Amino acid sequence: MTAGYRALGTAAALLALGLTSMNAQPPGDVQKAVDAAYEKFKTLKEGKNADYIPALAKVDPNLFGIAVVTADGKVYTAGDVKTEVSIQSISKVFTMAQVIQEQGLESVEKQIGVDATGARFNSIIAVEAVRTVVGSGAPEMNPLVNPGAISATSMVRGSNADEVWKKIIGFHNDAAGRQLTVLQDVYKSESDTNQRNQAIGALMLAYGYIKNNWQQAVDLYTRQCSIGVNARDLAMMGATLAGGGKNPVSGKQVMDAAKVPGVLAVMATAGLYDDSGKWLYHTGLPAKSGVGGGIVAVSPGKFGIAVISPPLDDAGNSVRAQRAITDISNALGGNPYAARK
Ligand code: DON
């Protein structure tokens, strides 16, 4: 074997192990990229807090925190990475992951679907548009829009609400590597105003996506959306997915590595709702946003990155989070579609 082929063989072996150049990236470079994005965007004022859930309108719009956690467990931060916001739709990723872990990749594909709707996250028109194919084995929905997410929550097995909740919060805790709690003010505020999600839950029962107890599913979905997280938690949850389902700091294997690519695929196609294509075009990263102001993105084998900044654009995605993650990931060579150097 020539030296050239040996080098190629080593690179291929490293790639197969998911050990790419990120782990060799000088720590100073990662911190520099994080600091540069923080400085560049800290005064950006575009966007507006979500206010359809009253508690979200009261969150400080200036809150801005960035965290990167590498697949080998190094943590880089800038700004406020301690203050918690509600996880909101980002929880959809981890409840979907839990169902996939528990019941296999096909369960979600058959019961909910894994296709983008191209519609807003709480669209009822999208439900109507795809309902004719329910039962055909390939419904064109996905677990990252509200109808699919409420259905995914309904799929988590358990003989009562408490049992199901323990599994949902347990999965989130394991991915974050610490005990998370529900922000009760957000839970109450959303429970008082979630009539649209209740309508969606009832519709999903009527159309066969939910098999029973849609009220319990909507309540648990509302609870999971109210889990408090900071930017570091979200980046750790992203790093758990980046590292094949293993939390890089606790070392716990949260889900089977073979099931993670399915989760990332749905994030790539539907994580930023109707702006998912635009996002992927610029970053190549599977990601998920929440109306609490967080976005988490995953560079497989390399890192999880998260930013919290509450003001959102018209699609419901944090303005500063999108800009900061794009800059940092591009500086670090995070785009999985780019040829690796
Ligand atoms: O169901 C809702 O409306 C919220 N609990 C979650 C929405 C959300 O985060 C959409 N994200 N961009």
Strand partners, 282: none
Nearest atom of ligand 1 to the alpha carbon of 289: 12
Atom 7 of ligand 1: nearest residue by CA position: 89
Asked if residue 289 has its Cβ within 6 Å of ligand 1, the reply is: yes
Q: How far apart are CA 69 and CA 341, in angstroms?
A: 21
Q: Tokens 């329910």 label which residue?
A: 134
Report pTM.
Answer: 0.92
Atom 4 of ligand 1: nearest residue by CA position: 88
Asked if residue 121 has its Cβ within 6 Å of ligand 1, the reply is: yes
pLDDT-based confidence at residue 79 (cuts at 50, 70, 90) = very high
Asked if residue 291 has its Cβ within 6 Å of ligand 1, the reply is: yes
For 56-65, write each residue's pLDDT tens digit: 999 999 999 9
Closest CA to 114 of 335, 244, 268: 268
291: left (phi over 0), alpha (psi -120 to 50) or beta: alpha
Asked if residue 187 has its Cβ within 6 Å of ligand 1, the reply is: no
Asked if residue 91 has its Cβ within 6 Å of ligand 1, the reply is: no
Nearest atom of ligand 1 to the alpha carbon of 121: 10
Distance in Å, CA 196 to ligand 1 centroid: 11
Does pLDDT of 281 surpass 80? Answer: yes
Q: Tokens 């520099």 label which residue?
A: 32
Average pLDDT of the residues of the chain: 91
Mutate to test the pocket of ligand 1, among 48, 49, 92, 122 (most ligand atoms within 8 A of CB): 122
For 92-146, write each residue's pLDDT tens digit: 999 999 999 999 999 999 999 999 988 889 999 988 887 665 555 567 899 999 9
Tokens found for residue 176? 């974050």
Asked if residue 89 has its Cβ within 6 Å of ligand 1, the reply is: yes
Tokens found for residue 85? 């916001």
Give the helix, strand, coil percentages of the chain, each rounded to 5: 50, 10, 35
Predicted pLDDT of residue 273: 85
Tokens found for residue 304? 């999880």
What is the biggest distance separating any 2 CA atoms in the chain, rounded to whole angstroms? 69
Asked if residue 226 has its Cβ within 6 Å of ligand 1, the reply is: no
Atom 11 of ligand 1: nearest residue by CA position: 290
